[in-house]
Structure 1
Amino acid sequence: MSKIKVAVIGCGSISKYRHIPEYAANSNVELIAFCDIVAERSQHFADEYNAKAYTDYKELLEKEKPDAVSVCLPNALHAPVSIAAANAGAHVLVEKPMAATEEESLAMIEAAKANNVFLMVGHNQRLMPPHVKAKQILESGVLGRVLTFRSSFGHPGPEGWSVDGRNSWFFNKEDAVMGAMGDLGVHKADLVRYLLGDEVAEVSSFISTLDKGDTDVDDNALTIVRMRSGAIGTLVASWTYYKGEDNSTVLWCENGVMMIGTDPVDQVIVELRDGSVEKHSVGAIATNEAQTSSGVIDAFVDSILTGNEPSISGEEGMKSLKVILAAFESQATGRTVAL
């Protein structure tokens, strides 16, 4: 069949490091257009891939009629642009958090259904080899039930990652809606839902701006969750891990413990109560410093080619978003919030 014509809307770091190179590496894809409000950015990629450059996404959708789009914009724009793309008949891959509110995420899901296109959310944690391996081990039953857990995602903040540095939209509440929680916390909510095959039942959270100046978005959050199974654990999101990134998860189970991302060589370590230890070197978790293929683009393209609904669907993205929204509600009210 002919190649899937893809447009990338938003040409910042996530596009530069993940979406664009991964589309370019996929033989089923033709990159036809790029859009960014900074004309030089979209033009740069248009020149590189012999594509068209735009500063207005509506004009792009109308003129190019892409088969699929990646929405790599500030969080506040995820819903309106995704809905416009779906209404233009394009499959949509949107960065996380998929939206700013539950209502927006529902509208995105409805727009995709109404136009018979797929909506996928870029929750790449699920596809990283250590997490895939960990899920297999949990499903094998060797560890028994997960009783308690902790999962942490922290780095020094968007200053070093974003194309705009300290002037990035990440620090502007109108554009970002939420800070470290939307950037990192939603990944952790999605990851524990995926690993445990379970939903979050209750959330209690402390969310603060501790160290980033001149911003009213959160730079740290600690969230306690109770799963429907009864398992309890903590999710940490931080932009102030100034001595380096942490993206680790530890699960304490009936029959032992599993440590993910705690060791640079053996990304998954299982220690059982009988004293046996299993170590798995399965490939690293991608970091801002060390970009590895996220797997998200290939999964999205595969869904379009096969006609199979993406596993990280709009509904899945919404369930993970709702955990974060409940955490903000908990911080605002001082109460535990039931989902």
Structure 2
Amino acid sequence: MDSRFEGLRQRWPLPARPRPIAIVGAGAIVRDAHLPAYRLAGFEVVAIHDRDRAKARALADAHGIATVCDSLDELAATPDAVFDIAVVPEANADVLAHLPPGAAVLIQKPMGRSLAEARAIVEVCERRSLSAAVNFQLRFSPMMLALRDALERGLLGEVLDVEVRLACRTPWELWPFMSNLAQVEVPMHSIHYLDLIRSLFGEPRSALSRSVAHPDYPALRDARTSTILDFDAPIRCCLSLNHTYRFGPDGESATIRVEGTRGAAEVGLGLLLNYPNGEPETLRLVADAAARHAANASPSAWTAIPLEGRWFPHAFIGTMSNLQRFAAGEDPVLHTSVRDALRTMALVDACARSSAQGGVRPEHTGDLPSRSEQHA
């Protein structure tokens, strides 16, 4: 391994004295990510509530959760608990209103179905003095923590290009509630990348975005998105997200590329390939490539970084750890606070408005020869 890439940070420190966790929601994300993550970290989940009590009971039995609560008020009375909310977006504000003032709470993304709902959630949290964060866990995945560390060390130089590209098959049918959403792809998926990009490179000035439907999913308003984020020069940033690729695994891809003046990084989002089983995730880095090219030297070799975990479930340890450490005074910043998440929701809203308004129409060209006339 290139010695410059040794020791890149891949884990968020655990709280010194973990508090018990009480969960609202017993859906697939809790089963497949939250509970496995907390088990890995040694966090104790002591209570769970879901409107479907049978689902909550099944998860409690499978994961050794002592108490299945019949109501939100019963769950909210759990002593010294940190609350983990994983419900449909429109239910967030009501759940938050049941929690005790001053509680620490982690909210599943998105923070509501719209910017207006997101603002209402922030208002509830601040009125009740909640230490509230949104579970934008991609920031805390081992690969992204390592990428952030490489950027902060200056190993890539000044960032010039950021690209997210998906050509994969997402089984949207796993989440039937999405058929009721006015937007699907941006608030439910590419919100992860918008939040990550904000956290790494700052606030874009504007967004140009278009989301479109696909005949394989007639019940969904959209399933694919193209987005350009406008940053101050020299950053070029674009996202090409096709979740409906159907031509076999050999042609699938899911990558994030970052190029700078000194080096580059490529992240392989293996979770999205053959979802939910996933493929291995990867991080490759190269440094001083531009200088070597200018000197007509042999190109630098890319370095594959051994990863100490995956997006699911390991990143969920990081979001809960940051919340608990912040509540205990161990972390000075709650990195995905509802105030910070409101900026991500504002960017999601900008993409929605851009998609609805369309692009700039070409000027009328009726006086120009037609294509058939040009080839006559």
TM-score higher than 0.5: yes
Q: Is the 8 A contact 2:104 2:324 kept in 1?
A: no
Equivalent residue for 2:193?
A: 188
With structure 2 as the length reference, what TM-score do the two structures score? Answer: 0.75
Residue 259 of structure 1 aligns with an amino acid whose one-letter code is E
Question: How far did residue 314 of structure 1 move?
Answer: 1.3
Give the counterpart of 1:302 among 318, 325, 338. 325
Residue 60 of structure 1 aligns with an amino acid whose one-letter code is L
What pairs up with 1:1-339 in 2 under 5 angstroms? 4-27=19-42, 29-47=43-61, 48-54=63-69, 56-61=71-76, 63-64=77-78, 67-81=81-95, 83-86=96-99, 88-153=101-166, 155-159=168-172, 165-166=173-174, 168-173=176-181, 177-196=182-201, 198-242=202-246, 243=248, 246-261=253-268, 267-270=283-286, 272-273=289-290, 274=292, 275-283=299-307, 286=310, 291-292=313-314, 294=316, 295-306=318-329, 308=331, 309-335=333-359
Residue 286 of structure 2 aligns with an amino acid whose one-letter code is V
In terms of fraction of residues, the more strand-rich structure is: 1
How far apart, CA to CA, are the structure 1 residues paired with 2:233 and 2:21?
Answer: 41
Higher relative contact order (CA 8 A, sep 6+): 2
In terms of mean alpha carbon deviation, does 327-336 or 292-301 score higher? 292-301
In terms of mean alpha carbon deviation, does 46-55 or 118-127 score higher? 46-55
Question: How far did residue 256 of structure 1 move?
Answer: 3.9
Q: What's the Cα RMSD here?
A: 3.0
Residue 42 of structure 1 aligns with an amino acid whose one-letter code is A
3-state DSSP class of the match of 1:267?
strand
Count residues in correspondence: 322
Q: Is the 8 A contact 1:134 1:195 kept in 2?
A: no
How far apart, CA to CA, are the structure 2 residues paired with 1:170 and 1:285?
Answer: 29
Report the identity percentage. 20
How far apart, CA to CA, are the structure 1 residues paired with 2:337 and 2:232?
Answer: 21
Q: Is the 8 A contact 2:37 2:314 kept in 1?
A: no
Structure number with bigger Rg? 2
Structure 2 unaligned blocks of 5 or more? 1-15, 271-279, 293-298, 361-376
3-state DSSP class of the match of 2:164?
strand
How far apart, CA to CA, are the structure 2 residues paired with 1:107 and 1:307?
Answer: 29
With structure 1 as the length reference, what TM-score do the two structures score? Answer: 0.82
3-state DSSP class of the match of 1:189?
helix
Question: How far did residue 179 of structure 1 move?
Answer: 1.4
Q: Is the 8 A contact 2:142 2:311 kept in 1?
A: no
